Chains A and B, each alone.
Chain A
Amino acid sequence: MSLIIDSLSKRFGNFAALNGASLTAPQGAFVALLGPSGSGKTTLLRILGGLEGADHGTVRFADMNWLDMPARERKAGFVFQHYALFRHMNVARNIAFGLEVRPRAQRPAKADIKRRVHELLAMMQLDGLGDRYPSQLSGGQRQRVALARALAIEPRMLLLDEPFGALDAKVRKELRIWLRHIHDKAGVTTVFVTHDQEEAFAVADLVAVMNQGRIEQMGTPQDVRRDPRTKFVSEFLAV
């Protein structure tokens, strides 16, 4: 019962975004993908979310052939850097979306959806904002709505693409502490993309340092920091 990524490759034209990336993490882990831009971390995340297909390689997760599943059946809650909230829906309808689009047989009753939305609003400290539209919220509030929307579908995996990249330093710090809290409470496996090493080390159980489409080193924050195994990792961490 774990996440096993085995030699994933992906090319965009002449550019090799992923070049045999492999990693293993236990289920329920909080993994940070850390690396400079262009190192392939977002591509890896998008492949896990089913928003991009891999050219080669396999992913097993919870004993499932993950890449063979269509994106919409994976239940991978994806949180985008720029939130990607549905702009014409209010906050409550944004959060309810993943439940409302389920096939009739699996769809919860209206009252249950409503209750779930209320729970999530409370959990995200967004009480009273259910009727607002995304354009009426601050950046930090929008990202909490995006997280609530992803959690509403009870995801098997939570995927976050630089979720705090567009926010100021103070809000970033608050949100990451709080994200870790949510992760522990929900018991999901989380993969978190960032180029900010301080953020990665502060929040993750496991840090995977990426460079040129490969995982250069993977380990606990302490291990990676104490014992950088390649020149690239030590240089990247020294910055």
Chain B
Amino acid sequence: MKKNRAATDDPPLLRILLCGIAFVFIGLFLVLPLLVVFSEALAAGLGPVWAAVTDSDTLAAIRLSLLAAAIAVPLNTVFGIAASWAIVKFDFPGKAFLVTLIDLPFSVSPVVAGLIYVLVFGRQGWFGSWLTDHDIHILFALPGIVLATIFVTFPFVARELIPLMSDQGREEEEAALSLGASGFATFWRVTLPNIKWGLLYGILLCNARALGEFGAVSVVSGHIRGQTNTMPLHVELLYNNYDYVGAFSVAALLALLALLTLALKSFLEWRYADELAAVHRH
């Protein structure tokens, strides 16, 4: 007797084919390169890796990347919360435009983003001569790198929060208001606890991108070794100097950070899904 297949099942051959394509694709384009990074770094054993990572220029690059992220991420967190709050809780003219603007950094090439800052703050730019007169360095210095990073990582927190907050609506805030809570107390006791997991998730993605950004930062940094090179820029510099072990060691460090982010993200998704499910069980 022929075995009956459930009406909703796809033919087995199709299933195997689809799974196969997915696995081959992921293996070829994601797993293999990642393995190459680690194997190239470790080609000559752990010693050279350690030497490359503790090189003073590399340490300077790590410090700069962490510093830029440490400034850009909190600023974008505050901005993201403020923008989502304004968009979800109030009606005002130009709201749709603001939502579109928030997405702009996703659609603009990072190189263009970097160039914008060169045009504004560069020697020939709008504020160029004024900045030179007052001895303020923005391009080829930390401020430029931070500005470029902020631009590129701008949407992450807001994009995470807007759908979450519009899903939750305004009623809890209205209830808090009618019970006598101030705006601050309402935010602190009602809004923030309701969005905390989504917020953390957005911050994590924002941070990952801030550490990994290459294009926009490359345009404004000036590539001064040991001074304005971030980690991704330092990888390129080492690679161009035929220091493969060094380049892949720093790249492996970046890859490890990415894997850590991924692990944290999965953990949050698991936590957050739980919480969201509880919240939605109305």
Interface residues of A (CB under 8 A from B): 49-51, 71-78, 80, 82, 84-88, 97-98, 101-102, 133-135, 149-150, 153, 159
A209 to chain B, nearest CB (A): 26
- CA gap between A97 and B281 in the complex, in Å: 22
Question: Is the Cβ of A97 less than 8 Å from the Cβ of B179?
Answer: yes
Bound-state Cα–Cα, A85 to B176, Å: 9
Whether the pair A101, B279 counts as a contact (CB closer than 8 A) is no
Q: Can you name 6 A-B pairs with beta carbons within 8 Å?
A: A50-B178, A72-B179, A72-B180, A77-B178, A87-B194, A133-B278
**What residues on B are CB-neighbors of A102 within 8 Å?**
180
Q: Which residues of B contact A78 (CB under 8 A)?
A: 174-175, 178
8 Å CB contacts to A: which residues of B175-219?
A: 175-182, 185, 189-190, 193-194
Give the size of the chain B interface in residues (CB under 8 angstroms): 20
Instruction: Give the shortest distance, in Å, between A41 (CB) and chain B (any CB).
Output: 17
Contact: A97 with B181, CB < 8 Å? yes
CB interface residues, B 236-282, toward A, < 8 Å? 278-279, 281-282
The verdict on B171 contacting chain A, using a C-beta distance below 8 Å, is yes
Could you tell me if B175 and A84 are in contact, using CB atoms closer than 8 angstroms?
yes
Contacts of B177 in A (CB 8 A): 50-51, 71-72
Neighbouring A residues of B171 by C-beta, 8 Å = 80, 82, 84
> Do A87 and B180 touch across chains, with their CB atoms under 8 A apart?
no
Q: Smallest CB–CB gap between A94 and chain B, Å?
A: 9
Q: Please tell me if B55 contacts chain A, counting CB pairs below 8 Å.
A: no
Interface residues of chain B: helix, strand, loop or mixed (majority): helix
Given A73-B180, A97-B179, A97-B181: A135 touches B278 (CB 8 Å cut-off) = yes
B178 touches A76 (CB 8 A): yes
Residues of B with C-beta under 8 A to A49? 178
Taking each of A86, A133, A149, which has the highest tally of chain B beta carbons within 10 Å of its own beta carbon?
Answer: A86
Residues 138-178 of B at the A interface (beta carbon under 8 Å) = 171-172, 174-178
The smallest beta-carbon distance between B179 and chain A, in angstroms, is 4
Q: Report the Cα distance A202→B10, complex, angstroms.
A: 58
Q: List the B side residues contacting A71 at CB < 8 Å.
A: 177-178
Q: CB distance B180 to A101 under 8 Å?
A: yes
Of all chain B residues, which has the CB nearest A100?
Answer: B189
Q: Separation in Å of the B181 CB from the closest CB of chain A?
A: 4
Q: Point out the residues of chain A lying under 8 angstroms from B281, CB to CB.
A: 135
Q: Are B180 and A98 in contact (CB under 8 A)?
A: yes
In the complex, the answer to whether B178 meets A51 with C-beta atoms within 8 Å is yes
Given contacts A87-B279, A88-B194, A97-B189, contact A80 B175 (CB under 8 A): yes
Cα of A11 to Cα of B150 in the assembled complex, Å? 41
Residues of chain B within 8 A (CB-CB) of A149 are 175, 179
Task: Using known A-B contacts A101-B185, A133-B278, determine if residue A88 contacts B178 with beta carbons closer than 8 Å.
Answer: no
B179: chain A residues at CB < 8 Å are 72, 77, 97-98, 101, 149-150, 153
Residues of A within 8 A of B279 (CB): 87-88, 135
Contact A72–B172 (Cβ < 8 Å): no
Q: What 20 additional pairs, Cβ within 8 angstroms, besides A80-B175, A84-B175, A88-B279?
A: A50-B177, A50-B178, A51-B178, A72-B182, A74-B178, A77-B178, A77-B179, A80-B171, A80-B174, A85-B172, A86-B175, A86-B189, A86-B190, A87-B172, A87-B194, A88-B193, A101-B176, A101-B179, A134-B282, A159-B178
The 9 closest A-B CB pairs, nearest first, are A98-B179, A84-B171, A78-B178, A101-B181, A84-B175, A135-B281, A88-B193, A72-B180, A101-B185
